[in-house]
Structure 1
Amino acid sequence: MSRKTPKRLSSEDEALWRKVVEKATPLTKSRPKPTPTATKPHHAPEPKPKFVPQPFTIGERAGSSETKAPAAKHAPAMDRKAFTRMKRGKLKPEARIDLHGMTLAEAHPRLLKFIHSTHADGKRLVLVITGKGRTRPDDEGPIPSRPGVLRRQVPDWLTRPPLTALVLEVTPANLRHGGEGAFYVYLRRSR
């Protein structure tokens, strides 16, 4: 089979076509008037530049060199649709623990026990309430303490052993479930 070549307009037909185009009113005003002889040359899209890791030395802090790699967005380890529903507060937590007012020494073993027991019960989404922390007006010493010790420490505990085998995702809770003072913890399926 051979390809058919497109027919070209004769000079009379082309002149007639131009008269028709000049008298026609466009449906939308944003379209430019077509010119039958003007064609754009076809260009292949430029390939995306490949990521080239920057040289580093062992012991160097991340981001201390002049050129920084762009920060990657957090890709959830769980189903994207469920992750979006969870972030919007549409999923209801199956269990919750409140660590308000506890010290780090009290909160850590209680959190471990809670995560292990809810995972053993087959629950998937739990809410860990840490509170936002408070600022003390009398804490104006030479080394000020940062508020929210539990709020900073709990996500770290959840992403380290022995809980990494049980926890699939940790993300701040929606306002309806505590906002900045709580975390959604999505657990892996129990075997």
Structure 2
Amino acid sequence: MIVTLIIICEVGFWVLLGIGLALRYFARMPRASVAVLLCEPLLEVLLLVVTAIDLKNGAEPDWKHGLAAVYIGFSVALGPELIKWADARFAHRFAGGPPPVRPPKYGKARAIHEWWTAARWIVASGIAIALLQAAIWYVGSDGKIDSLRMWQQKMVFLIGVNMVWALAYTVFPKRAPGGTADAERAKSLSDR
């Protein structure tokens, strides 16, 4: 039942996003659009409540309950950014808006971008870890909590991967191809 609800929440997220953007750009109803988009967090609340009820009714905690916590964490931390991303593309494609801003490709700006991206993924993982820990406390030490602990370990691993990724762009910044202002500046400094 939990996996089905996760799928319903994911489909519901995209359906509400599509309806919200259609109301904003096709029907020219920005208030209605905001109301629809504000319903999206209700999906996560519904999933959290159903997961808690399932555990309360004596269900053994397993990978499905862990997946529900992970889904909620990622929806909360990454959902708003995903909505902004879709909104910018929708506005450009259907409402004559400016082209979406692309992330920087090189140097310090790219490193900063990667750190902000990593921060969102770290927050998502942190929320998932906290929800998993709450489920572990809720079930108690006499319950089978191995699958929940496994999800926590995966989230810690994901935090590590994001930290290493962002650090790599900081320590080894991607350089602009030759002929750009950075390359010309470096050449002029080496000629001195």
How would you bin the TM-score normalised by the shorter chain?
Answer: under 0.3
Relative contact order, CA 8 A, sep 6+: which one is greater?
A: 2
Compute the TM-score of the two structures, normalised by the length of structure 2. Answer: 0.22
Structure 1 or 2, whichever has the larger Rg, is 1
Structure with more strand by fraction: 1
Compute the TM-score of the two structures, normalised by the length of structure 1. Answer: 0.22
